[in-house]
């Protein structure tokens, strides 16, 4: 199974930077075209972060594993 820490780190990075860019774009006074471009960039960061969520939830990401039935037995220690 693949390590998901890089995916989580990228999701947090893009999510936080997208939110920060959107907040700064709407709190600072700037011309309309700059605000539209900055809003697009911030929304794109949030989109990248949210698009990675389904891949992190999926247990079979990048594996060739399949489910098999397993029988378990218990031995007495008498």
Task: List pLDDT tens digits, range 20-53.
Answer: 999 999 999 989 999 999 999 999 989 988 888 8
| Pairwise CA distance, residues 69 & 50, whole Å | 35
pLDDT-above-90 percentage for the chain:
29
Distance, CA of 76 to CA of 55 (rounded, Å): 43
Pick 40 or 68 by higher pLDDT: 40
And the tokens for 69? 């039935």
Tokens of 24: 């700064």
Encoding tokens for residue 60?
């079979």
The answer to whether 39 touches 62, Cβ cutoff 8 Å, is no
Cβ-proximal residues to 24 (8 Å cutoff; 6+ apart), any chain: 38
């Amino acid at each position: 199974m693949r390590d998901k820490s890089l995916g989580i780190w990228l999701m947090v990075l893009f999510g936080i930077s997208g939110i920060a860019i959107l907040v700064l774009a709407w709190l600072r006074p700037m011309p309309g075209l700059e605000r539209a471009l900055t809003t697009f960039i911030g929304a794109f960061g949030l989109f990248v972060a949210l698009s990675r969520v389904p891949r992190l939830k999926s247990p079979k990401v990048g594996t060739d594993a399949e489910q098999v039935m397993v029988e378990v037995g218990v031995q007495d220690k008498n």
